[in-house]
A and B are shown apart, each in its own frame.
Chain A
Amino acid sequence: MADVLMMARRRVEPAHVLAILCAVAVLCVVLFMTLGARGSWSFIIPFRGAKVAQMALVGYAIAVSTVLFQTVTHNRILTPSIMGFDAMYVLIQTTLVFFIGGLATATIDPRLMFVLETVLMVAFALALFRWLFTGAQRSLHLLVLVGIIIGTFFRSFSSFMQRIIDPNEFAILQDRFFASFNTVNSELLLISSILIGAVSVVAWRIHSTFDVLALGRENAINLGVDYNRVVRLILILVAILVSVSTALVGPVTFFGLLVANLAYIMIGSARHRHVIPAAALLAFICLVGGQMLLERVFAFNTALSIIIEFLGGVVFILLILRGAAR
């Protein structure tokens, strides 16, 4: 049975899978833009268009960051959030509200906040990398492990501050930490697009190394990849992508895992040139299609992030049960 599935999977060309995913994505956008549209198009198009744009940016950022992170860590159940990237975002927000108050933080220019957060996240990634890769132990697994512990520390510290904070301020924070795909951060869309564009250009320039990195550190060095430089660069890119997605919708844990692993299964090979577009398209389809179902079928009775995190969590457990954790 498994063999038959394997054979069937091998016969579908990656290019065909990508073409089908593209078609589904376009269909989702068309349906999302037109279904239940009552009223003036001059209102609907920019209103829903901004939502689609935000979901495209977030889906792309989460998918690419997860696939790249899994490539450099050689592990398919890790996501950047496990390294404490999301926890750092929560800590920054909590600290700000704790010290200057919810009202004052709300008046800060969101673009300024965003830049600050991105800089801090990149600095965090670099500090972790530098500390671990200049010492005697050059282990990526140690880096991840330390990341997990620092993430736990960030979370504990944040929850400590949240406990002693004014309950009204706490409500503001809680709202911010709950991933929402429905509200559009219009101020951040432009700067996010620019950042993601810049990240994509850099990633494109080093994309030939991605497949080689998946062979492991020693094989990558043997094949002439400047391993330390490339891994550091990829961690910076991942940090930027995670900052973009958390700033736009809030922390999301399992979504990247879900789309990355679906992409590996659908493409059937590990070639990044196919896996990355597939993961990004899947993320976009899940977000736009999911949001559409939510709005039209469930009439906003639940939140998309809950469904996505539920599905992602199920995939995570399945992966562990299937032993993909090795």
Chain B
Amino acid sequence: MIITKGITKAYGGTVVVDDVSIALPTRGITSIIGPNGAGKSTMLSIISRLLGMDAGTVTVDGMDVTKTPGDVLARRLSILRQDNHMSARLTVADLVAFGRYPYSKGRLTVEDKRHIDEAIAYLNLEDLRGRFLDELSGGQRQRAFVAMVLCQDTDYVLLDEPLNNLDMKHAMGMMKLMRRAANELGKTVVLVLHDINFASWYSDYIVAMKDGKVVNHGSTEDIINPDALRAIYDMNINVHEIGGQRISLFYD
């Protein structure tokens, strides 16, 4: 269970995350939605200790993220952000192998190699495993990074806007994959999403943020309805039920 207590982060005088206390459910997919500048990515960065906070605490299974040794936490929680610029030239297999670093510190065991092969197979990257990352398309690169995170074999997987720069097909593939990871591997997946229809279709739990605060959280039914969405986005959003799933239409 990820529990935040009063986390606050300000840049200069601007408060980006304002006294957020929330418990994210274990297992399944939790989506964080909200307008631009709501503090979604900042909160995810704070939870995953990429960013320090000005006040508050974050615990993952009872471990304080700012005090727990990095490698202990790295075996429990993984984070993937969007821009993964790197100067080193790596193959897909090299990158995925880094997911085992928290366990083996660079000396791969037979067990590690098995995890690497599994992660590569899970993302259908077998044909690309010897290719360099800069020879891949955006979607393939994205999959390679997700394979690294899965190879890290953590209970909690945090992804910051994983659908950015992906076309419909790849975006859907990514979400289906997260669904499988949650169902088959029992992972807790936390995503920051902009497309509320993806959130509605694939999430078990939705957290809505606005102006640095959590304004609403609950099951998909609680959040994906016109009243709740108007409070989050300040606009009229029609919600239709299609095949048992809620779809929002916001084109005016």
Contact = CB atoms under 8 A, between A and B. Distances in A.
Contacts of B106: 208, 211-212
B75 to A, nearest CB: 7
Interface string A190-223: 0000000000000000001001101111110111
Contacts of B152: 222-223
B48 interface: yes
A187 interface: no
Nearest to B99: A223
Contacts of A70: 87
Interface residues of A, number: 25
A75 B74 contact: no
A34 B161 CA distance: 64
Nearest to A222: B79
B88 A222 contact: no
A223 B89 contact: no
Given A208-B106, A269-B94, A224 B84 contact: no
Given A223-B101, A224-B102, A270 B11 contact: no
Contacts of A75: 87
Contact of B89 (A208, A211, A269): A269
A225 B70 contact: yes
Nearest to B10: A136
A225 B80 CA distance: 15
Given A136-B11, A208-B106, A223 B74 contact: yes
B31 interface: no
A270 B87 CA distance: 9
A223 B90 contact: no
Given A208-B105, A211-B106, A269-B94, A222 B80 contact: yes
A221 B50 contact: yes
Contact of A224 (B11, B12, B73): B73
Contacts of A270: 87-90
Contacts of A269: 89-90, 94
A268 B79 CA distance: 29
A214 B79 contact: no
A227 to B, nearest CB: 8
A74 interface: yes
Given A71-B87, A270-B88, 17 more contacts: A70-B87, A74-B87, A208-B107, A211-B106, A215-B84, A217-B50, A218-B50, A219-B98, A223-B102, A224-B70, A224-B101, A225-B70, A226-B69, A264-B89, A269-B89, A270-B87, A270-B89
